[in-house]
Amino acid sequence: MKNAETQKTSYYGVLATLLLSTFIATLAISSTNILLPELVVSLHTTFSHVQWVTVSYLITMSSCLVISGSLSDLFGQRRLFIIGIVIFTSSAGLCGISNNIWLLCTFRATQGIGAAILITVNLAMISDFFPQHKVPAVIGLVGSMSAIGTACGPILGGFAAQWMSWQSVFLINLPIGLILLLLALYFMSPLKTVRQLKQKTFDYWGAIFLILTLVCFALSLKFVTEASLIICLALLSSTTLFLLLFIRTQTSDGVKLLNFSVLRDWRYSSGFVVNFLVSTVVMTSLVVSPFYLTLVFNLSVAQTGVVMTASPLCVAITSFTVSRMLSARNCDNLITTGVILLITGTICLSFFDPSFGIAGYIACLVITAVGYATFTSSNNTQIMTLASITQRGQISGLLNLSRNLGLLSGTTLMSSVFAMTTNITAIKPHDTFVVEIGLNRVYACATLLLVIALALRIYPYKKTNI
C-alpha cells in the first residue's frame, strides 16, 4: 500500500515537472513578442533589428530539436533534461541583464537551445515514466499546458513590462527554473531509466550539417519578408548544399544522427509532413488577426489580445478533453477529424465578411482551435506510442522539428501572401476592404494546404485496402 502511494506521488511529481517545463518553454516565445515595441525604445534600436529577439530563439530551438533527441537516446534523458534546465534558466537571467540588442539576441539564441532540449526530452520521457494506458492522457495534458503557456505569455509579459520592466519578463524564469530543477532532481530518479545505452559516440559532422541546413533555411525565410532576393537565394543554395552533405553523412557507414528507416515508414513520415502543414496553417491566425481586428473592427491592442486569447484557451480545454478519449484504436479517426475541423474553420474564414461580427470571427477561431487540438493530441500520441524505446528521443525531436519549421514557414508564407494582397505598408484607415480580401485569400491558401494534409491522411487507408 505504501509503495503504491509512493509510486503515485512520483507520477504526480514527474507530471508536474513535465508540465512546468512545457509552460516555461512556450511562455518564453509568446511573452517576448509583446515586448518588441518597448525594446525598440529601451535599447535604441529598430523594429527590424528587434525582431531577431524572437527569430534567434526560434532558429536555435528548431536547429537543436533532432540533435537533442539523439543525444537523449545516447546519453540518457534525465541528464540531458537537467542540462537543458540549466541552459534555459541561466540564459534567461543573462537576457534580463542585457543592455544591448545583439547581446540580448545572443542569449536568446542560447535560451532556444535549452528550450529545444526541454521540449524534446519532455515528450520522449512520457513513455518511460508512465504506464502505456496513461500515455495519451499525459500527452494531452502537455499539449494543454503548451496552449496555456502561449495564452498566458502576452498577459504576463504585458503586465510585467507595464508595472515593472521588460527585464522582469526574462528574470521571472530564474525562480521558475530553480523550482523545475529541484523537481527534476527529486522525482526523476536515474533508476527509472528503462533503456540500455549501448552507443557512446555521437555523429558530430551530421549534427553540424543539420544545424547549418536548418539555420540557412530559417534565415532564408526571414529574408524573404525583407525582399532581399540575392541573400535569400544564396541562403537557399547553402541550405541545399548542407542538406546534401547531411544526407551523405547519414547514408555512409558509422554512427548516424538520424535513422532514415524512420522516414521510410509511412506512419512516421506522413505524420511529420501533416504536422508541418497544420502548423503552417495555425500561424495564419497569429499573423493576420492583429491587422484584421484592429483595422476592420477598430479594436484596441488590448481588445485584440483578448479576442486572440480565445484560440489557445480553446486548445487547452480541447487537448485535455481529447486526451481522455484517446486510445490506440481511435487515434487515426481523431487525427482525420481534427484536419476536417481545421478545413471547416479555414473555409469559413476564407468567405468571412465583417457583417458576421466579432462573435462570428471568434466562432471561426474556435472551430480551427478545436481541430488543431484534436489533431495535435492524437498525432503526437500515435507517433510517440509507435516509437521504440531506443528511438523516442529522435522521434520526439523530428515531431517537434516539423512543428517548428511549420511555424516558421507559416509566419513567412502567410505574411507574404497577406502583404502582397493588401500592400499593408500603405494601408489607410479607409482601405479596410483590401484587408478583408487579404484575410479571405490567406485562408484560401491555408485551406489548400489542409486539403493536401487530408489527402496524406487518407492515402494509407486506400493503400491498405488495395
**Mean pLDDT comparison of 24-28, 326-330, 355-359, highest-scoring range:** 355-359
Mean per-residue pLDDT of the chain: 79
16 and 160 share one domain: yes
10 or 180: whose pLDDT is higher? 180
The whole-number pLDDT of residue 2 equals 41
Do residues 198 and 266 share a domain? no
Please list, in sequence order, all residues whose beta carbon lies within 8 angstroms of the beta carbon of residue 421, skipping any fewer than 6 positions away: 434, 437, 438, 441, 442
| pLDDT at residue 5 tops 60 | no
pLDDT at 84: 92
pLDDT number for residue 267: 77
Res. 463: pLDDT tops 60: no
What are the cell numbers at 5? 502511494
d(CA 157, CA 151): 11
Residue 251, C-beta contacts closer than 8 angstroms, at least 6 positions apart = 260
Residue 4 — very low, low, confident or very high, per pLDDT cuts 50/70/90?
very low
Same domain, 194 and 311: no
For residue 162, the model assigns a pLDDT of 67
With a cut of 80, say whether residue 14 has pLDDT above it: yes
Query: Which of 172, 202, 232 corresponds to the end of one domain?
Result: 202
Residue where a domain terminates, one of 179, 202, 225? 202
What is the mean predicted confidence (pLDDT) over 316-329? 78
**pLDDT exceeds cutoff 60 at 424:** no
Q: What are 194-237's pLDDT values in tens digits?
A: 444 445 567 778 888 888 888 888 777 767 655 567 888 888 89
As given in the structure block, the three cell numbers for residue 142 are 502537455
Q: Name the nearest CA neighbour of 318 among 153, 123, 137, 140.
A: 140
**Predicted confidence (pLDDT) at residue 107 exceeds the cutoff of 90:** yes
- Residue 93's pLDDT band, with cuts at 50, 70 and 90, is very high
198/283 same-domain check? no
Q: What is the pLDDT of residue 57?
A: 86
Overall size of the chain counted in residues: 466
pLDDT for 404: 77
Determine contact, residues 445/414, Cβ cutoff 8 Å: yes
What's the grid cell of residue 8?
Answer: 503515485
* Residues 333 and 439 grouped into a single domain: yes
Q: Tell me: pLDDT of 52 over 50.
A: yes
**150 or 375, which is more confident?**
375
User: Residue 390's pLDDT is what?
Assistant: 65
Percent of the chain with pLDDT over 90: 17
50/55 Cα distance (integer angstroms): 9
* 267 Cβ neighbours under 8 A, 6+ residues apart: 382, 383, 386, 460
Residue 442's nearest CA partner among 407, 418, 423 is 418
Assigned domain for 120 exists: yes
In terms of average pLDDT, the best of 237-246, 247-256, 403-412 is: 237-246
Whether residue 250 is contained in a domain is answered as: no
Taking a C-beta distance cutoff of 8 angstroms, is the pair 34, 157 a contact? yes
What is the pLDDT averaged over residues 336-348?
94
pLDDT of residue 6: 46
Cell 481545421: give the residue.
342
Residue 188 pLDDT > 70: yes
Rg of the chain in Å (alpha carbons): 22
Percent of the chain with pLDDT over 70: 80
Report if residue 383 sits inside a domain.
Answer: yes
| Same domain (yes/no): 109, 177 | yes
pLDDT confidence bin for 283, thresholds 50/70/90? confident
Domain of 168: which CATH number?
Answer: 1.20.1250.20
- The count of domains in the chain is 2
Residues 414 and 326 in one domain: yes
| Positive or negative torsion for Cα 138, 139, 144, 149 | positive
Same domain, 145 and 268: no
The whole domain housing 429 covers: 259-460
Taking the C-alpha atoms of residue 450 and residue 277, their distance in angstroms, rounded to an integer, is: 7
The answer as to whether 465 is a domain residue is no
- 236 domain-assigned: no
Say yes or no: 124 and 269 in one domain.
no
CA torsion sign for 349, 355, 356, 361 is positive
Per-residue pLDDT averaged across 39-68, rounded? 78
Task: Establish if 107 belongs to a structural domain.
Answer: yes
Determine the average pLDDT of the residues in 109-132.
84
Domain-located, residue 410: yes
Q: Are 372 and 317 a contacting pair, CB within 8 Å?
A: no
C-beta atoms surrounding 433 within 10 Å: 11
Of residues 302 and 307, the one with the higher pLDDT is 307
Between 137 and 168, whose confidence is greater? 168
Question: In 101-228, where does DSSP find H-type helix?
Answer: 101-129, 135-163, 166-171, 173-187, 204-224
Which of 139-143, 167-171, 441-445 reaches the highest mean pLDDT?
A: 441-445
Contact present, 398 and 69 (Cβ < 8 Å): yes
Q: Are residues 277 and 174 in the same domain?
A: no
Is residue 253 scored above 80 in pLDDT? Answer: no
Q: Is 216 inside any structural domain? A: no
Question: What single-letter DSSP state applies at residue 459?
Answer: H
Domain boundary among the residues 161, 179, 202 is at: 202
Domain identity same for 73 and 187: yes
Task: Tell me the three cell numbers of residue 238.
Answer: 547553402
Q: State whether 353 and 434 are in the same domain.
A: yes
